[in-house]
Amino acid sequence: MTGVGRARLDDVCKSRPPGALSPSRREISLSGIDLGVAESRVHRSMKAIVKSELQKEDYAVVEEPLFPPGERVSWSSYRPDLLGYKSDGGAEELVLVECETHPNMRRLGSKNYSGVWFQPYLFTKGSVRRILAVPQGKLGSVDMKIRNEWDVWIVGANSAMTKYPALA
C-alpha cells in the first residue's frame, strides 16, 4: 500500500472520539465487557474466511466496528459484520459484509445497510461494495435478486468457494 493509501486508511480508521480507533466487538468482549450476544463457531469461521479473502484483495478490514470509523463514513442503526477499505490511485472503496449462517431475506432487508454514507476524497472515485456471505448448502435461501446490489459469496469450511459478483 502506498504512503498516500496508508494516510487515507489512517483517516478512515479514525473513530469517535477523535484520535482513537473504533474498537471491534471482539476487542470489547476480550476486555471483559459482555455484549450479550453469542456468536456461533460457523459465523466466526465465515467472518475469518471472508476477512482473509478481502485482505488478499488489499482491503484493510475491521470486524464488527461499534461506531463508524471516521468523519467520511457514517451510518445509523447498522453495524456490518466486517468493514473493509482500500484505496487504489484515484479510487476508494468501502466494503460492507454480512455473514448469514441461516440466510433470511426479510431479516437482511430489515438491516439498515442502505443508510451507510461514504464521502471519498476530492478528485477520487468512491464506491460502496456489499457482500452477503452464506455457508455452503444455504444458497437456496437467498433470493438472487439481491445481486442487483450485493455480491454473494458461498463460504466453505476453509475458503470462499464461489463468488457471484453484483450485477449493477
Q: What type of residue sits at position 120?
A: P
What's the rounded Cα separation, in Å, for the pair 50 and 14?
A: 23
Q: Is the pLDDT of residue 132 over 90?
A: yes
| Angstrom distance (rounded) from CA 101 to CA 91 | 32
21-25, 39-43, 103-107, 120-124: least confidently modelled range? 21-25
What average pLDDT does this structure show over 35-54?
85
Is residue 5 helix, strand or coil? helix
Query: Band of the pLDDT at 24, cuts 50, 70, 90?
Result: low
Q: Which helix (H) or strand (E) holds 3?
A: helix 3-12
- Please say whether the dihedral angle defined by the alpha carbons of residues 122, 62, 69 and 130, taken in this order, is positive or negative: positive
pLDDT band of residue 37 (cuts 50, 70, 90) is: low
Provide the 3-class DSSP secondary structure of residue 162: strand
Q: Does residue 10 surpass a pLDDT of 60?
A: no
| % of residues, the chain, pLDDT over 70 | 69
Sorted by where each begins, the domain ranges of the chain are 3-164
**pLDDT, tens digit, for every residue of 106-129?**
888 777 666 676 777 777 787 888
Cβ-in-10-Å burial (0-12, 13-18, 19+) of 84 comes to buried
pTM over 0.85: no
Residue 13: the pLDDT is 45
CB atoms near residue 98 (< 10 Å): 19
Q: Which of 22-31, 38-47, 65-74, 123-132 has the lowest mean pLDDT?
A: 22-31
Q: What is the pLDDT of residue 161?
A: 82
